[in-house]
A and B are shown apart, each in its own frame.
Chain A
Amino acid sequence: MKKEMLQFSDVSLIYHTKRGETKAAEHLTFTIAEGEFVAVIGPSGCGKTTLLSLAAGLLKPSEGTVERHGSCGYMLQKDELFPWRTIEKNIYLPLEIKRQKTAQNMERARALAEKYGLGDFLQSYPSQLSGGMRQRAALIRTLATDPDVLLLDEPFSALDYQTRLNVTEDVSEIIRSEGKTALLITHDISEAISLADRVLVLSKRPARVTFTHQLDFGDVVNPLKRREMSSFSGWFEILWKELNG
């Protein structure tokens, strides 16, 4: 039995605003083990981002408990790179915030950037990079503090289709080779199938886990290869029905 990195036990969340209350998550229960890549799919507005905010500890559950074992790195839909900082300085940002900006950590972050093709862009400003490159820089920034769990909130949805395939490929490769645990939120079924070990399907709001699937691609973790496998369309059909049923 692998170590559990993240555990939701009967978690509910209600947003309170002056116009009323919105129940965004209801009785969420699931665990994510070390090294696992879990995708969560659900219709838009069902509470996916809420789930991730709960996982990151940015929101306190109204009911139930969220247990985190280890540090989290959060990656959002847009890269949110700071335009007044160079790529290198952007990548050091979490080190600065956590007061871990040691020579060793900076070196590690820079090495990661170089390893994954950002070496030539370290002194560039975000506006000089393509959307795909920027998203890659955002991932390296997330990895800079060497978090145990990556929380990814639709990180590809702002990219055009071609770039999306490439960046998905890159990100998958980076996450797998760094051996990270990942929780990916998406509304794109094929993205979930091509990336994850396990897929959780959420209901319409308030989000509840309606189905869980362990994907059976064996050792194939490459998203493009998975897309070419015969079982891919089978999974797509199953998940599509569950999502729309």
Chain B
Amino acid sequence: MMKKKQSYSAEHARFLKKRRKNLVLVWSLRIGLLLLILGLWELSTQLGWVDSFLVSSPSRIGKTIASLYRDGTLFYHIGTTLWETLVGFVLAVVLGYAIALALWWSETLRKVLEPYIVVLNALPKIALGPLIIIWFGTGSKAILFMTLIVGLIVAIMHMLSAFIATDHNKILLLRSMGASKLQILTKLVVPSSVPSFISMLKINVGMAWIGSIMGEYIVSRAGLGYLIVYGGQVFKLDLVMTSTCILCILAAGMYFLVVLLEKLLVKNSES
């Protein structure tokens, strides 16, 4: 652990400065690239190189957002999708973690359920669409369920393999101290699987968006997925592009929250 407020050598100061400079460069280039793409996109539609009816344009997206906002439906659609995605995500992660723990705990249960999990994992969840509509109707509940099942199996399999991969020698060490199974779980299995937990969260952010948007494609009357389908059906490609861009921003935001959580969780262990 570095002592805070250390006085560095001149060379180290130069090293830090160079690193900072490099970071600034990378970020300016990233933002520059984004502006370049948006600029070219706008320009090519303005100059008529491509048909803005087919590919929309940044300014038309801006206008669409403004008109959705005036309608008062912008935040309604965003909120609907965000809520479905977040709740489905949390449910999938919490349930998946709990089920993985249970499967780690009981080898018999694990062996019994293994083929079921494999099959469920391989099954394309969208095939369940009609069943879900019949069971849960066409509201948010159906989409939540879709989001949940898309993420759940991934969460279970990812965490279970992390739990099982716990270092045998470390388990042996704890057993030699007389540790109970619960102690092995809390002192070793859970903390040593934190990196896998984080990577599972990152994967499941993607899964949750797949689940909620797919769900909205099939059943819904609100949400960004609904706007995309609707926009496609009535050939309002501005609406499709706008919703897609908002989705990108939301998905990125959620991913960054996970990265933030990662920093919080692993700042204590230098590994």
Q: Which of B172, B187, B268, B271 contacts A76 (CB 8 A)?
A: B172
A212 at interface by CB-CB < 8 Å: no
B188 at interface by CB-CB < 8 Å: yes
Contact B194 A84 (CB under 8 A): yes
Bound CA span A124–B3, Å: 11
Nearest CB in chain A to that of B191: its residue: A84
A83 at interface by CB-CB < 8 Å: yes
Bound CA span A77–B183, Å: 23
Interface stretch of the complex, out of B9-17, B117-125, B173-181, B237-245: B173-181
**What residues of chain B lie closer than 8 Å to A128, measured between beta carbons?**
1, 270
Interface stretch of the complex, out of A92-100, A171-179, A224-232, A233-241: A92-100
A127 at interface by CB-CB < 8 Å: yes
State the Cβ distance, A127 to closest chain B Cβ, in Å: 5
B106 at interface by CB-CB < 8 Å: no
Contact B1 A80 (CB under 8 A): no
State the Cβ distance, A172 to closest chain B Cβ, in Å: 22
A74 at interface by CB-CB < 8 Å: yes
Give the A-B contact count at a CB cut-off of 8 A: 58
Contact B169 A76 (CB under 8 A): yes
Contact A125 B271 (CB under 8 A): yes
A30 at interface by CB-CB < 8 Å: no
A140 at interface by CB-CB < 8 Å: no
Q: Which of B174, B183, B269 contacts A84 (CB 8 A)?
A: B269
Bound CA span A74–B178, Å: 11
A 141-155 to B, binary, CB cutoff 8 A, 1 in contact else 0: 000010000010000
Report the interface size class on chain B: 20 to 34
B64 at interface by CB-CB < 8 Å: no
B 156-168 to A, binary, CB cutoff 8 A, 1 in contact else 0: 0000000000010
CB-CB under 8 A for A82 and B170, given A125-B1, A128-B1: yes
CB-CB under 8 A for A127 and B187, given A58-B175, A72-B176: no
Bound CA span A73–B173, Å: 9
Bound CA span A53–B176, Å: 8
**What residues of chain A lie closer than 8 Å to B177, measured between beta carbons?**
74, 93-94, 97-98, 145
Contact A93 B187 (CB under 8 A): yes
B196 at interface by CB-CB < 8 Å: no
B45 at interface by CB-CB < 8 Å: no
A123 at interface by CB-CB < 8 Å: yes
CB-CB under 8 A for A124 and B174, given A78-B169, A80-B169, A97-B183: no
**What residues of chain B lie closer than 8 Å to A78, measured between beta carbons?**
169
CB-CB under 8 A for A97 and B178, given A76-B172, A125-B271: yes
Contact B179 A97 (CB under 8 A): yes
Contact B269 A97 (CB under 8 A): no
Contact A96 B187 (CB under 8 A): yes
CB-CB under 8 A for A82 and B192, given A124-B1, A125-B270, A127-B270: yes
CB-CB under 8 A for A83 and B269, given A97-B178, A98-B178, A124-B1: yes
Bound CA span A83–B192, Å: 9
Contact A84 B1 (CB under 8 A): no
**What residues of chain A lie closer than 8 Å to B192, measured between beta carbons?**
82, 84
Nearest CB in chain A to that of B176: its residue: A74
Interface residues of A in 63-110 (CB under 8 A from B): 72-74, 76-78, 80, 82-85, 93-94, 96-98
Nearest CB in chain B to that of A125: its residue: B270
Interface residues of B in 13-59 (CB under 8 A from A): none
Contact A80 B269 (CB under 8 A): no
**What residues of chain A lie closer than 8 Å to B170, measured between beta carbons?**
80, 82
A207 at interface by CB-CB < 8 Å: no
State the Cβ distance, B182 to closest chain A Cβ, in Å: 11
State the Cβ distance, B163 to closest chain A Cβ, in Å: 16
Beyond A56-B176, A97-B183, 13 additional contacts (C-beta under 8 Å) are: A72-B176, A74-B176, A74-B177, A80-B173, A82-B170, A82-B188, A84-B191, A84-B268, A84-B271, A94-B177, A96-B187, A97-B177, A127-B270
- 9 closest A-B pairs by CB: A74-B176, A84-B269, A97-B177, A125-B270, A83-B271, A94-B177, A97-B179, A80-B173, A56-B176
B interface vs A, CB < 8 Å? 1, 167, 169-170, 172-179, 183, 187-188, 191-192, 194, 268-271
A interface vs B, CB < 8 Å? 53, 56, 58, 72-74, 76-78, 80, 82-85, 93-94, 96-98, 123-125, 127-128, 145, 151
20 contacts between A and B (CB under 8 A): A76-B169, A80-B170, A80-B173, A82-B170, A82-B188, A84-B192, A84-B269, A85-B269, A93-B177, A97-B174, A97-B177, A97-B179, A97-B183, A98-B177, A125-B1, A125-B269, A125-B270, A125-B271, A128-B270, A151-B176
